[in-house]
Chain A
Amino acid sequence: MTTEEIETVAKQDAPAKADRTPEPAKRKSSEGGILNVFSHGILIVWGLMVGVPLLWVAWSAFKDSNGILTDPWGLPTVLHWENWSNAWEDANMGQYFINTAIIVGGSVIGTMVLGSMAAYVLARFEFPGNRFIYYLFVAGMSFPVFMLVIPLFFVMRDFPGSSLLATYHGLILVYIAYSLPFTVFFMTAFFRTLPASVAEAALIDGASHSRTFFQVMLPMAKPGLISIGIFNFLGQWNQYLLPMVLNQQEDKYVLTQGLAMIALQQGYENDWGALMAGMMIAMLPVLVVYAIFQRQVQSGLTAGALK
């Protein structure tokens, strides 16, 4: 049942516009007109409540700190571009941005590779223990991360060889591990929807199992990979709890930690201009991904609630 729901979500990527009727304003009828105005009115009010605080960050990123504090609604009179360089250099947002990019880059790729490998095997091969391993992965979706974080801290600290705390590779491995449950769950459902005949044909033609996977099945699974890739990118880019516990060294901070640190340090007496610019720096990659892949982002994230 649950897999079917995921399948429908995954499939939405292909036929896409089924529910989007073209909207020529054909004729006005009285019934529904009032409701229509009413609907738009309410929707616009909520839209403003959500949109204005976000736009406020954008315009505040160009104001000086004093202006942000004493006249929060005012538009910038002079564009304070120096906020951006202050954020990037003095507030170390540049360093945090690079840290985040390295860690998230590594972990998204790692999650996709390991997750789809495991999902493919679990979806397409019969072997003893298949169900057990599948449910072991899926169960991970219901573990509260807070409960795991204490033992995890010591697993990382006492890792054989050298401590994994505050290292790129340590955080990458942790991000991969915590993204695997949903990735395996989603991709297993997706691989099940793909026709078996293509893989069989490739095998008969003499391709090995792994070659069939990398050259035939993975390209076919592209829509699913895009959805789950975006899901993981957003989740990992915005991750806060894991780095806060496992990455307590300032030169290794990720963006969320850096922002929280600035915000927590000085309360209302802050370099707010730089903080706003820093928030824009942290948001921009996400904004770009969201603007380009709106449909995949929305279907990918909501698929998580259908588990």
Chain B
Amino acid sequence: MQHGKYRFIVGFLALPLIVYAIFVISPFVQAFQISMTNWSGLVGTAEFIGLENFQRLWESSDFWNALRHNVYMLALVPVVTLGLGLFFAFMLNVGGKRRKNEVITGVGGSKMYKFVFFFPQVISVTIIAVIWFNIYNPDPDDGMLNSFLGFIGLDGLQNSWLGEKSLALWCISAVMVWGHVGFYVVLFSAAMASIPRDIYEAALLDGASRYHTFFRITLPLLWDTVQTGWVYMGIIALDAFALVQIMSVNMGGPDGATDVMPLRLYLTAFRDSQFGYASAMGVAMLIVTMTFAVLTMRFARRERIEY
């Protein structure tokens, strides 16, 4: 009996564990090893050079430039995305007409709204990048955004978007926000639906406005979800690889204005064959990501409210 049980356990776990160990765990460990070598990819030519790659990274203005762009996006994209997500979710779930016997009501057609809002989440980021590449077409007459601005009489706002050094990074950030708001609308809607109605009922009886119910009831009760959503969105902002690679002028341009860490890593490794140095970038990215996640979890902690 016992013998049969252990044979079953081993039989079921062996294959998943082997696949996982070969393709995920071993690369994870090797990344640290490779980051301390000057490997160029040929078998047997790696030399141990200690922390030299990290020192070089520390002194590299290109890397700091890329990291700075990721940090800008990290500061902006999650706030805007989660803010819009919360706002729309609140509209969907509490912004409806008041009906008899119901304290709070969602708007009609909320399923339809969610269907549309969520859509960018299910399509490939390459498709999103190609779409927005066209929207940002710099031609004042032919570009989608530019011709739209011209049509509504805002010619003054026409721009070359991705070609404009001071704007390009924000244009790409806007695409990130656009693509992820729907995800948070759905996430927050689900969380809001689990807040008991009688809490709202009590608040409304006490004369609270919708504005107050949102900031005093909904938001505090959603805090856990907001916090995890924040970490999740932050990790996306620390990436941005595919959007930058496909949309930006000359990959990371104009003039390095949209360069990001993953793009640096990719080019260093697979264009320049400096695998040791690129691995050091990977380790640095892990450190940045982990630091961000831990700090967010730490500083955003609130008393957990049971209901």
Q: Is the CB of A240 within 8 A of B31?
A: no
B residues in contact (CB < 8 Å) with A: 4-6, 8-9, 11-13, 15-17, 19-20, 22-28, 30-31, 34, 41, 43, 84, 88, 91-92, 95-100, 102, 105-108, 111, 113-127, 129-135, 137, 141-144, 147-148, 178, 181-183, 186-187, 190, 193-194, 210, 225, 228-229, 232, 235, 239, 241-242, 245-246, 261-262, 265-266, 269-270, 275, 278-279, 282-283, 285-286, 289-290, 293
A122–B279 alpha-carbon span in the complex (Å): 33
Q: Is the CB of B126 within 8 A of A240?
A: yes
Chain B residue with minimal CB distance to A234?
B122
Number of interface residues of A (CB under 8 A): 109
Near B by CB (< 8 A), chain A positions 142-157 give 142-144, 146-155
Contacts of A173 in B (CB 8 A): 19, 23
Q: Is the CB of B95 within 8 A of A47?
A: no
Contacts of B135 in A (CB 8 A): 53
Q: Is the CB of B228 within 8 A of A21?
A: no
Q: Is the CB of A29 within 8 A of B22?
A: no
Q: Is the CB of A174 within 8 A of B285?
A: no
Known: A121-B12, A147-B282. 8 other contacts (CB 8 A): A31-B98, A32-B105, A114-B16, A115-B16, A154-B41, A178-B24, A260-B246, A304-B232
Interface string of A130-167 (1 = CB under 8 A from B): 00010011001011101111111111001000000000
Q: Is the CB of A305 within 8 A of B232?
A: yes
Q: Is the CB of B41 within 8 A of A263?
A: no
Given contacts A42-B91, A177-B23, contact A47 B116 (CB under 8 A): yes
Chain A residue with minimal CB distance to B118?
A298
Q: Chain B's interface: helix, strand, loop or mixed, by majority?
A: helix
A102 at the interface (CB under 8 A from B): no
Q: Is the CB of A260 within 8 A of B190?
A: no
Could you tell me the distance in whole angstroms from the C-beta of B154 to the nearest C-beta in chain A?
15
A226 at the interface (CB under 8 A from B): no
Q: Chain A's interface: helix, strand, loop or mixed, by majority?
A: helix
Q: Is the CB of A174 within 8 A of B16?
A: no
Q: Is the CB of A49 within 8 A of B178?
A: yes
Could you tell me the distance in whole angstroms from the C-beta of A202 to the nearest C-beta in chain B?
13
> Which residue of A31, A54, A240 is within 8 Å of B119 (Cβ)?
A54
Q: Which 6 pairs between the two chains have the least Cβ-Cβ distance?
A: A147-B282, A39-B95, A177-B23, A151-B30, A151-B27, A238-B124
Contacts of A208 in B (CB 8 A): 4, 8
Given contacts A150-B275, A240-B242, contact A143 B24 (CB under 8 A): yes
A28–B96 alpha-carbon span in the complex (Å): 11
A40–B183 alpha-carbon span in the complex (Å): 19
Interface string of A57-99 (1 = CB under 8 A from B): 1000000000011111100000000000000000000000000
